[in-house]
Structure 1
Amino acid sequence: MTLTAWLAIGVFAAAYVVIASEKLNRAAVALTGAALMVVIGATRGHEIYFSAETGIDWNVIFLLFGMMVLVGILRQTGVFEFLAIWSAQRARGRPFRMMVLLVLITAVASALLDNVTTVLLVAPVTLLLCDRMALAPMPFLLAEAMASNIGGTATLIGDPPNIIIASRAGLSFNDFLIHLAPIVLALLVVFIGLCWLLWGRRLTYDPGKADQIMALTPRETITDARLLWRMLVILAVVLIGFATHALTHLEPSLIALLGAGVAVLISRQSSETYLAEVEWETLLFFAGLFIMVGTLVHQGVITELAHSITAAMGDNYALAAQGILVGSAGLSAIVDNIPYVATMAPLVHDLVGPAQGLPPQQQSLWWALALGADLGGNATAIGASANVVITGIAKRNGHPISFWEFTRYGLIVAAVTIACCVPYVALRYF
């Protein structure tokens, strides 16, 4: 590697350490790191703004922005309060039952939509629910972030890395269901058990709060039924657009922006209202992170790491699959899994070619990449987009989740889920 590449690694490592230490604002650190990448000559304006491989992923940025605007308008209808009370009543006021219910809703929704959209919709409900029940929201938000990454692994549209893999490998929506949904269902059962061990035993049941919540009438929280129905129609169209992305070839970001634009027009809300839920700090952090990781891609650092993994495996596909599974999990914990998969997918393509028609042993490399990247993202607060969004929402609402607080739980969940995938890949494909 060149001197510039080593300098880029140094800048990224320093920024990562400062972000983890939480001594400075994470968005400021990410943007400073991005600026330093330009100063040292490791990247240029063209790569930052216009390259899909080595610059800001505008699809992610504008998808988040559009969905945040939709959430901001939806909040005015009272629907989140309705869902919070409904969830608490279904769980009979029992905190762990509420956690399980929210985890299952998040996982299923993440498979049908995508994990970032799901956490944007579920997090406000969770915060209101915890407020009503006088519970600390941190365990619930952490569980939802991790459930979104697990559930999103099951389908082509559930997690952005899967879309990249499907495009490069020629895989269909049904291929993901057949190969990944079975292990994801098993992982959800394991994860619910982990939720009990990590958080559930410490959740306290308050009979008084439970009685209060059971006495409420959820429908009374709806403040604007007419706007709610209009918003539900818009949201349904947006979600259908997400689900039919492979057919229409419309980018999810464009669908989200169109939906947000229509919602602004029909709601006639002031800009202060519909922009109130926009997590500007999170969007800026994403931009800086994309630039830093994109610079490592541009300098060949990520490619070098990926080549090292694949070269060490040779033609031993069983070893290669396990190496890609574990190696992808480790690297996705450090860098965002979207640029990692964008770099790794061409290398797997060079090794085995498109997935269709391949023997199971060779096709396993594609599934190992998906499992490793999606589940490894649970390990740290910046490993997956959903994690960044959840921690941003938590901070904005006065319940900050530190990098290490997320990581000490995320490492356990990532390690256990990846450990479960090792025998699955071995038994199913070999």
Structure 2
Amino acid sequence: MNGWQSWAAIAVFVATYGLIISEKIHRVGAALGGAALMLAIGATDDKSAFFSEHSGVDWNVIFLLMGMMVIVGVLKKTGMFEYLAIWAVKRARAKPFRVMVMLVVITAVASALLDNVTTVLLVAPVTLLVCERLALPAAPFLIAEVMASNIGGTATLVGDPPNIIIASRAGLTFNDFLVHLAPLSAVLTVVLVVMCRFLFRKSFVYDKTRAAEVMALEEKEAIKDPRLLVQGLVVLALVVAGFVLHPVLHYEPSVVALLGAGLLIAVSAVETGEVLGEVEWPTLAFFAGLFIMIGGLIETGVIGEISRSLADAIGDNELGGSMLMLGASAVLSGIVDNIPYVATMAPITADLVQSMGGSGDHVMWWALALGADLGGNATAIGASANVVVLGIAERNRQPISFWQFTKYGLVVTVVTVALSMLYVWLRYFAWA
């Protein structure tokens, strides 16, 4: 580590994290203040913060979010989310737990095909409307969906950004992820549904009057602008195709999202300023500040030192190493964003795999992916999807506090990570 700057960077990060947890300062102000201090103490500089692919702001994440927020903003004007909300409630017979199960399963499946951030951007508005119609608290439903998005995103190469980094470094294909991680993701989704029944049991209050009112509604009447809806759905379908065809087209998801947003604004008659007003700018600013802070830890060698210590502890013990990799990655991904963590850990993992003889089953890579993806559920800022949903909830006057999210997230993370360890042991060691 780089002397006093490393310790100063650690102090800044810990202090900022403490402010975010305490909520004495708004998380955006805390993150931007922490980023400013990292620049002030020289832990990072303008080139590293804004232009470095390794330790700077991940503009792919920022512009992916912005592009999808614009598309969602246009779709909101069509009445599509009201339509889906009424449709979902009627299919679930207005029973709160059935509604949650439906939304959780839809979110998990969609996160595997798209990515978890895009999915929550599409599902969260529907959820808020469903909860409003049934007079239910939105927080439990949103929290459950975020966790489902992180679990579902584990299943495929495009489901969670860390998976793309791992696939590129390890030479893994879309089908490799489907074969090795999709079965576990499906099981964990079922486990999450069962856990939700107990974790959020106090929220499942059935209001007969509200339920009858929703059941009497005709969902088709919610559509306000059919032409704009068709335009929006066509563009959304093209964007989804672009995401799925990433291995063939080689367009980054951020580029696909921006192209889709630009095309939709161009072909529709929406007011550009009005649509841009739907973008969650505070959320984007929070991500930028967080990336710069973590970049300071990378530039001063803090994260590299942690990663090397982990590698030294693993040695050539593949079973113990994979368990340590999975557990440590889950813990660290609950504290720092999993994207820069995986970017830092990927070359170290590659060296570990090489020293173990280039293990053909890629168990160390799967352990890294599982830990990074599932560990994001642990805290309110552990994954990009978490932060996005907190921003949406706050904007809709349904704020979710750091501890409100984290008290459920820690339970879900412990259970899913423990089951993942069992899966890794059974599949790659006990039955090998």
Cα pair 2:161 2:339 within 8 Å, conserved: yes
> Counterpart of 1:110 in 2: which secondary structure?
helix
Letter in 2 for 1:258: L
Q: Percent identity?
A: 61
Look up the SS of the partner of 2:181 in the other structure: helix
Residues 375 and 314 (structure 1), Cα distance of their counterparts in 2 relative to 1, 3 Å cut: same
1:202 is displaced (CA, Å) by: 3.6
Q: Cα distance, 1:251 vs. partner?
A: 1.1
After superposition, where does 1:17-416 map in structure 2 within 5 Å? 17-353=18-354, 358-360=359-361, 363-416=362-415
Question: Cα offset for 1:200?
Answer: 3.1
1:425 aligns with: 424
Using the alignment, how far apart are the partners of 1:117 and 1:228 within structure 2?
Answer: 18
Q: Which amino acid aligns with 2:253?
A: P
Structure 2 counterpart SS, 1:16 = helix
Q: AA paired with 2:378?
A: A
Q: Using the alignment, how far apart are the partners of 2:186 and 2:28 within structure 1?
A: 35
Shift of 1:297: 1.1
Cα distance in 2 for residues equivalent to 1:381 and 1:321: 26
> Following TM superposition, by how much is the alpha carbon of 1:313 offset from its aligned partner in structure 2, in angstroms?
1.5
AA matched with 1:418:
V
What is the alpha-carbon distance in structure 2 between the residues aligned to residue 332 and residue 294 of structure 1?
15
260-269 vs 60-69, which moves further? 260-269
Where structure 1 has 5 or more consecutive residues not aligned to the other structure, the ranges are: none
* Residue identity matched to 1:151: G
1:170–1:354: 8 Å Cα contact kept in structure 2? no
* 1:55 partner letter: G
What secondary structure sits across from 1:122 in the alignment? helix
**Mapped partners of 2:248, 2:267: distance in 1:** 28
Amino acid at match of 2:154: T
DSSP 3-state at the match of 2:137: coil
Q: What is the alpha-carbon distance in structure 2 between the residues aligned to residue 224 and residue 78 of structure 1?
A: 7
Moved over 2 A (4+): 353-360
Once the two structures are TM-superposed, the CA of residue 359 in structure 1 deviates from its matched residue by: 3.2
Following superposition, the deviation at residue 162 of structure 1 comes to 0.3
**Aligned AA for 2:149?**
S
The one-letter code of the counterpart of 2:383 is A
Q: What is the DSSP-based 3-state SS (H/G/I as helix, E as strand, rest coil) of the residue aligned with 2:220?
A: helix
Query: In 1, distance between residues paired with 2:201 and 2:183?
Result: 25
The structure-2 alpha-carbon separation of the partners of 1:341 and 1:145, relative to structure 1 and needing over 3 Å to count, comes to same
Aligned-pair distance for 1:355?
11
> Residue type of the partner of 1:406?
F
The alignment partner of 1:358 has SS state of coil
The answer to whether the 8 Å contact 1:123/1:390 transfers is yes
Contact 2:114–2:244 (8 Å) recurs in 1: yes
- C-alpha distance in 1, partners of 2:396/2:118? 18
Q: State how many pairs are aligned.
A: 428
Give the letter aligned to residue 46 of structure 2. Answer: G
Question: Residues 239 and 260 of structure 2 are in contact (CA less than 8 Å); yes or no, is this contact kept in structure 1?
Answer: yes
Q: Hey, what's the Cα distance between the residues in 2 that align with 1:356 and 1:156? A: 24
Q: Distance in 1 between matches of 2:75 and 2:420?
A: 38
Give the distance between the partners of 1:86 and 1:267, measured in 2 at CA. Answer: 26
Moved more, 251-260 or 77-86: 251-260
Contact 1:169 1:353 in 2 (8 A): no
Per-residue CA deviations over 1:61-101 (Å, capped at 9, x if unaligned) read 00000000101110110000000000000000000000000
CA RMSD of aligned residues (A): 1.3
